Amino acid sequence: MNEQNVTIHLFSEKKDRSKIASEFIGCSVVYHNFSASSPGELNGAKNSIVVFYLTSLSSSVFNKIKDAQKNAQHSFIYLVENRDPVIASTLAKFGGSEIYILPDELFKFNALLKEKVENLHGETDDSTFFNFNESDPVFRSLLGNSKEADELIAAAKTAAENASVNVLILGETGTGKGMLANAIHNYSNKKISPFVEVTCSAIPEHLLESELFGHEKGAFTDAKSRKLGLFELADNGTIFLDEIGELTLNLQVKLLRVLEKKIIRRVGGTQDIPVKARIISATHRDLKQMIEQNLFRTDLFYRLNVITIELASLRDRRDFILSLVDLFLKEFSECYHKTVNKVDEDVLKFLISYDWPGNIRELRNAFERAVLLCDSGVLTSKHFDHIINRQLGEMTHREKSFPSSPADKKSVNICLEFSYASTNIQQLTVLYAHEVLKRVNGNKAMTARILGISRPKLNRLLTGELIE
């Protein structure tokens, strides 16, 4: 079945339908005039969607709609021009649920229309939106290939399969919480609806309530007109609340109401508005500790973390760095139309040993910069000099605290495990060199200075070439 098999029946008293005509592209549309036909006549029609486009609500039109609703085999969609809000409230009282005010809510109508068309095609089955084979490499690219990653991937897939369940993603800044939230949305049956991202810490407290829930005209001094909130914009999709730990207790109460009752109320409004968006939240903060400090509500925490996914820092999953290197190398080579396909081996070792305090975000930014600066096919140390210099600065600081005099060195305990019967002095020197290298986090330049030998001699010593 293709989209030509779906018929949209549009009832209107208005001849000019240009405001909404573009929303029906790809579908067969039959236009009806209320004076000549009744929606009740369509009760036997299959694969049909009925839309009412209302600029007024006369008694005759209203009676036809009421009669059609009594024995309806279709769900009706109502489009109402905002010049007369009484129409929308009247329809709601008599059972109308899918009511959209034009022009403000035209995009929401468009999203709903797409969803209904997909439903008629049978394309909203979970197997269409959540395909194990398709989603696996995406989640792998975000989470890695370790045993620990397997558990995270299983949780992410469960979250995608169960699109009504709230998800809490924990992890340091830059660990990929937003990318994972987006992937969960894209592999759920909400993917045709909006993904709305909100960084709670980026919006001033006095504006955040209005941003999330919207406001009515005149709700406060600068409210010149009605504004739809982000929950309404998310519609039947996903709203991603990043840095959820930054919400004030007052807003936490209002968010809890959304989770419990599935409704919002605009600032300055009196009408409860149903919401269908799934909430994915994220934070780098310890919410359990915040609960103990009375900074976060216990009931809200348990509402948010039906499924919890905790992302480790990049320094705790160094085996993942090589996969990310390949991913970012390919991404930015394609993005900037370059043929950069290799990273120098010594640089690669450095990238793996570096702690990446900014996590995946820092690594990604480093590769974008490196590929942009690269004029050959290989990334070398000069392309990562800003990170290497920073690391050397930190090493120099550490070196100041490392014992430099013989007297100081006596206060350092270094334990070497060896068999005195089979280990000669040269082999013992190699063991000692390796231990010093370990103490300074793999910095060979510093190790050579501490041992009082050249860097080339240190390399030969570490590889055993100096052992006779």
Q: Are 160 and 297 members of one domain? A: yes
With a cut of 70, say whether residue 394 has pLDDT above it.
no
The tokens for 295 are 């900074």
- Of the residues 366, 395, 424, the one at which a domain ends: 395
Pairwise CA distance, residues 166 & 158, whole Å: 11
Q: Model confidence over 338-351: pLDDT tens digits? A: 999 899 988 898 89
> The domain spanning residue 15 has which CATH number?
3.40.50.2300
Q: Which helix (H) or strand (E) holds 128?
A: helix 126-129
What's the whole-number mean pLDDT along residues 28-32? 75
Percentage of the chain surpassing pLDDT 70? 76
Domains identified in the chain, total number: 4
Q: What span, in angstroms and rounded, lies between the C-alpha atoms of 420 and 441?
A: 27
Query: Who has greater pLDDT, 152 or 1?
Result: 152
- Residues 210, 94 within the same domain: no
Q: Is residue 288 pLDDT above 90, yes or no?
A: yes
294/187 same-domain check: yes
Report the length, in residues, of the chain.
Answer: 468
Same domain, 208 and 103: no
Residue 102: what are its φ and ψ, rounded to 5°?
-95, 145
Domain boundary among 278, 310, 342: 310
Percentage of the chain beyond pLDDT 90 is 25
Amino acid at 230: L
Of the candidates 310, 335, 359, which is a domain's last residue? 310
Q: What is the pLDDT of residues 209-255, one digit of tens each?
A: 888 998 888 888 888 888 888 898 888 889 999 999 999 999 999 99
CATH of the domain at 168: 3.40.50.300
Statement: the pTM of the whole predicted model exceeds 0.75? no
Residue 401 has pLDDT above 70, yes or no: no
- Report the C-alpha dihedral over residues 88, 91, 96, 97, rounded to 10 degrees: 20
Whether residues 351 and 380 fall in one domain: yes
Report the chain's mean pLDDT, rounded to a whole number: 79
pLDDT digits (tens, 9 = 90+) for 207-221: 898 889 988 888 888
CA dist., res. 76 & res. 82, Å (int): 19
Structure confidence at residue 37 (pLDDT): 66
pLDDT tens-digit readout, 94-153: 666 678 877 777 767 777 777 777 776 654 444 444 444 456 677 877 788 788 888 899
By the 8 A CB rule, do 389 and 410 touch? no
Q: What is the pLDDT of residue 159?
A: 93
Mark whether 304 and 320 lie in a shared domain.
no
CA distance 58 to 61: 5
351 and 425 inside one domain: no
With CA atoms as reference, report the closest residue to 360 among 230, 200, 179.
179
* Pair 419, 338 in one domain: no
Rounded Cα gap, residues 18 and 8, in angstroms: 15
Question: In terms of residue numbers, what domain contains 304?
Answer: 148-310
